[in-house]
Structures are given as C-alpha cells and as structure tokens.
Amino acid sequence: MRKPVLAVIGAVLLMLALTPAPAQAASLTMLGADVSSLQRTLDLGGKYYTAAGAQADPYDILKGAGANYLRLRVWNNPASGYNNKAKVLQQAKSVKAKGLKLLVDFHYSDTWADPGKQYPPAAWSSHSLSQLQTDVYNYTYDVCTALKAQGTTPDSVQIGNEINVGMLWPKGQVTNNDFTPLASLLKQGYNATKACNSGTQVMIHTADADSDANARWFYDGIKAQGVTWDITALSYYCMWHGTLANLYNVIADVRSRYAKPVVVVETAYMYTTANADSQSNSIPGTTTCDGQPATKAGQGTEFTWIQNTARNAGAIGVFYWEPTWYAISGNGWDPANINGTGDGWDNMATFDATGKFNSYVKWTA
C-alpha cells in the first residue's frame, strides 16, 4: 500500500508545484487561528506551555509560531455564558493587546451553526423573515459598535457560519434554489457591518471546499440576488472535503469567478489517535490524509501543505480551527452542558493534553 500512496501524493504535489500561482498570491497575509474556547480554558485555570516546556501566554505562543489574526465566534445567548457578546468583548481586548487582528464569526444562534443545523436564537424563533432582517442588522451593529467603542474594532466579520444552504432556518434556508430569503439577511449583515466601520471586511463563509459545483451553486446564487461581500471564506478539513488538489481547484475557481480574495477560514489535523477525555473525538484516529500520520510531525506537515496549496491557488489566508482547545474539565463541547461534556477536538489541537505546543505547527506567509 505504501508505494501507491506515495505515488499519488507525489503526483498531487507535482501538479500543485507546476501550476502557476496568480500574481496576487505571493503570500498569505491572514495567518489565523480560531481561539473561541480559550477564554474558558484560562478562566478554569488551564495552562499553556511552549514546545520547550516553559509556561507562557497562549497568545504569545501562537504569535511566535507565525499567527497574526485570531477568530472569535459569537453566539447570541448561549447557556454556557461563553462566546456571547460580553465574553467576545473581553477576549477581543486580549487579542488586540497582542497586536493581532480580529475576525468575529457571527453564528446568529445560541449554539453551533454549521451545514447541518442553523437554529435561530430562542429570542428570534417566532420572528418573520422581515423581523429577522431587522434582528440581523441590529445584532451585528450592536456587537460591532460595542467592540469599536472599546478600541477593538473587528478587522473582519463573518455573516453566518458555514451557511451552505442558508442560515436562521427555516426562514433563511435555501429551498428550491431560491436564494432570495437568505440574500435579504446577508445584505442586512453587510450593511450593519459597514455602518459600524466601513473598513471592516465582510466574509461569506461556507464549507464548500469539497466541491466546486457546490461552491458555484451557492455563491452564484447569492450574487444573482445582489449580495455584496469582500472575502469568500471556506472550510477545509481533508477528512471531509477531499484532496489538496480539489482544494486548489475550488480556491482558484471561486477567486477568479467572483474576483474576491479567498480565505480558508477553518482547517485542522490530528496530532494523535488518543482521546484525552470522556468525549469521543470528532475525527477518529484512523481518518488520516495524504499519507501523514496522526503525530505532531504529521500535524505540522499537513498544515504546511494546506497553507502551500491555498497560497498557490491564490488564497490570502488560512485559519487553524481551535488550536488551543485541549481537554480541560469544564470546557465541554455542548454550551448547554459545558461542565458535563468533554472536548471532541482535543486530538486536533496544537497543544497536547498537557498544554504543550506542537513546534511542528507554523503559520507561514
């Protein structure tokens, strides 16, 4: 099995190396990490250590590894009391104090929003589409202006999280190829962001790195409805979204087709097959990619390859999703039971079960 695997990898990497990179893609300028769970870990007394074993500020460790942009999700009224407006305001101060840029990821939900679920906040659950348009505008403007007022204006925001078939279901769900309801919501989020700060870049984020056809269907759909956005944002997890060659093709196509910068706003890879807590790992240890083992070296190499692929395809940034979320009791997966659930991402973090950073992981321009 080893020789065929290496042959396929070699062919993919050769194709990527020989494909001319667009002139605008000389480097990645958004070297990002989503650290939405970090404040909870710190509040619980969690510690972080450099690869050499010295205790250090996790923001400094990430910055030292090359990160220059951090992402924070915001939920409307989560049961956990974390990732809400107040906590985002608190954590944004830490981000900006380190000289790092800030991306705010609006889920427009009280809990996780992703391609399989886009539940409206409980307070909005009975609202009409027209009311939801007002809700999106007011909430986006409120969070953005509160951040601006404390000197932590977001450098970019996402209007929705992995909204492959819409958000705020069922009112904002895309059904029968009708993008009109969703478009009306996206426009309100864009307008609110620009009213808060015209320089804040607006991302529209899908997990469509798996399929160029899916990406075209979505972004063609919102474009036809007059939606404006600044950056096309994609999620790419190799165990779900296909090969590096496929990632390259999707990035290159959407970049050219919509004439907008592209960012891989979520990616990650496992460093171990072990599970550090009671919560099953979201990514089983047997699901590896590109011949890279579930080791610290493998994690670092895969992340480097993803960055190289994105850069060569013309993207301007790559974000690692939740590198600081190692298993800490009380920092669980479910916001409705944050103390009683574990962390499904501990084997994908870039800090091991003792809080020690993986030196193989580097963000590279």
Catalytic residue numbers, as ranges:
162, 266
What is the residue whose two structure tokens read 């309100």? 188
Burial of 223 (0-12, 13-18, 19+ CB in 10 A): middle
Question: Is the separation of the CB atoms in 234 and 209 below 8 Å?
Answer: yes
What is the biggest distance separating any 2 CA atoms in the chain, rounded to whole angstroms?
59
**SS3 at position 193:** helix
Instruction: Name the DSSP letter for residue 53.
Output: S
Question: Is the separation of the CB atoms in 299 and 345 below 8 Å?
Answer: no
Could you report how far apart the first and last alpha carbons of the chain are, in Å?
A: 34
Cis peptide before 170 (omega within 30 of 0): yes
Q: At 201, which helix (H) or strand (E)? A: strand 201-206
Q: At 263, which helix (H) or strand (E)? A: strand 262-266
Cα–Cα dist 84/265, whole Å: 20
Q: Alpha helices of the chain — where are they, by DSSP H?
A: 2-18, 38-43, 58-64, 85-97, 129-149, 180-196, 212-224, 238-241, 244-258, 296-313
User: CA 73 → CA 14, 44, 61, 344, distances in Å?
Assistant: 37, 19, 21, 17
Nearest to 327 by CA among 259, 280, 261, 257: 280
Question: Is the separation of the CB atoms in 316 and 28 below 8 Å?
Answer: yes
Question: Is the separation of the CB atoms in 344 and 7 below 8 Å?
Answer: no
> Backbone phi, then psi, for 50, in 5-degree steps?
-70, 170
